[in-house]
Amino acid sequence: MTATDVRAPLYEARHLSKSYGSVRAVRDVSLHVSAGELVGLVGDNGAGKSTLVKMLSGVYAPDEGELLVDGIEKHWKSPHEAMQAGVETLYQDSGLALDLTIGANVFLGREKMQRGILGKLGFLNQREMDKEAAEDLERTGIAVAASRRKVGQLSGGQRQAVAIGRAVAWAKKVIILDEPTNHLGARQAGEVLSVMQAARDRGLGVIFISHTLPHILQVCDRIVVMRLGAVVRDAPTSAFTAETLLGAITGLHVGE
């Protein structure tokens, strides 16, 4: 019996299915994440992870099944709606505007306006955004330079740090990270992992998608394994070793 079983799921997917034409990308998948839980989602290419993530983050509507936040059913019309409900997603390609500054990116879509008439006329309070962006990133444990720099001037690792910092800073309930450690060096990947753990410790539900199994085994509380569009294992990390996890993914030693 783990603590997970007692806690109510913060975000829950029940019996999701999604087809593209005749291809059933996701078949009857159920998944949940609780507050303060870090769930790993693994599977081979084509296992249906990306499709599942896109349904969870509001990019696609599921053909069947339901999504519940705090037990209340949700039908996302857009990723933005999911974001407003507290579900943040960090995509593989990070979703930053490279020509904008760090501060502008952190606040993109939720700008702080000037007070009074200037704000009503549509003018931004960039100074406050820069200041708060720096504080937000600092709080999530992310090392980036001054808010005024353009994201395009940053290294790949720093860009990823900004993207994660933005997602963690804004996520009210759940944060979904799709391959956040891709293209990162060992040290930067380690930083990303500790940022995820910090987010979990702050009470967020974290869903971590990765091909890098050592990272999954290192930080996750629970691991969900997908194969051929279905969930084949959903168990606490302690139930897996590197070998049995790989076996579950490839389907060669299921249930070992």
Partner 1 sequence: MSLLAERSSTVAAADADREPSLVRRIVGNQQFILLVAFIVLFAFFTERNSVFLSVSEIGNNVTEFCTLIMLAVGETFVIATGGIDLSVASTAEFAGIVAAFGMEHSASHGQAFIIALGTVIALFTGAFVGLVNALLINVLKLVPFVATLVTLGAGAGMCLVLTGGSPVDNDINAIDMTRPLLGPFSWPAMIIIGITIISGLYLHLSRFGRYTFAIGSNPFAARAVGINVTLHTYLVYILSGILAGLTGMYLFMQLGSGSPTSADGAELTAIAAVVIGGARLTGGSARLTGTVLGAAILTIVSSGLIIMNVSPNFNQVAVAICIALAASLQVLRRGTRKEA
- Please report, as residue ranges, which positions from 133 to 192 form the binding site for partner 1 (by CB under 8 A): 141, 143-146, 148-149, 153, 158, 187, 190-191
Residue closer to partner 1 (CB basis): 141 or 236: 141
SS3 of residue 188 by DSSP: helix
Count of all residues that appear for the chain in the document: 256
Q: CA-CA distance, 125 to 244, in Å (whole number)?
A: 53
Query: Is 61 a binder of partner 1 (CB under 8 A)?
Result: no
Choose between 14 and 74: whose C-beta lies nearer to partner 1. 74
By three-state DSSP, how is residue 54 classified? Answer: helix
> b/e for 132-141, b at 16 or more Cβ within 10 A?
bbbebbeebb
Give the span between the Cα atoms of 123 and 121, in whole angstroms. Answer: 6
78: contact with partner 1 by CB under 8 A: yes
109 forms part of the interface with partner 1 (CB under 8 A): yes
Q: Is 3 in the site for partner 1 (CB under 8 A)?
A: no
CB 232 within 8 A of CB 204: no
Stretch that binds partner 1, among 3-11, 46-54, 96-104, 173-181 (CB under 8 A): 96-104
Give the nearer residue to partner 1 in terms of CB position, either 192 or 226: 192
Reading the block at residue 131, the tokens are 């200041």
Closest distance between partner 1 and the C-beta of residue 31, in Å? Answer: 22
> Which residue from 54, 63, 49 is spatially nearest to 19, judged by alpha carbons?
63
Q: What is d(CA 117, CA 153) in angstroms, rounded to the nearest whole number?
A: 34
Does 127 sit near partner 1 (CB under 8 A)? Answer: no
Shortest distance in whole angstroms from residue 227 CB to partner 1: 28
Q: 70 or 111, CB closer to partner 1?
A: 111
| Nearest partner of 209 among 90, 59, 79, judged by Cα | 90
Number of residues that bind partner 1 (CB under 8 A): 37
Q: Which stretch binds partner 1 (CB under 8 A): 25-33, 39-47, 88-96, 226-234?
A: 88-96
Q: Verify binding: residue 244, partner 1, rule CB under 8 A.
A: no
Instruction: Find the binder of partner 1 among 21, 71, 122, 255 (CB under 8 A).
Output: 122
Give φ, ψ of 70 to 5 degrees: 55, 35
Residues 87, 174 contacting (CB under 8 angstroms): yes
Contact 195, 226 (CB under 8 A): no
Task: Work out how close the CB of 34 gets to partner 1 at its nearest, in angstroms, rounded to a whole number.
Answer: 26
Taking CB under 8 A as the rule, does residue 113 contact partner 1?
Answer: yes
In the complex, which residues of this chain contact partner 1 (CB under 8 A)?
78-80, 83-84, 91, 93, 95-100, 104, 108-111, 113, 121-124, 126, 141, 143-146, 148-149, 153, 158, 187, 190-191, 194
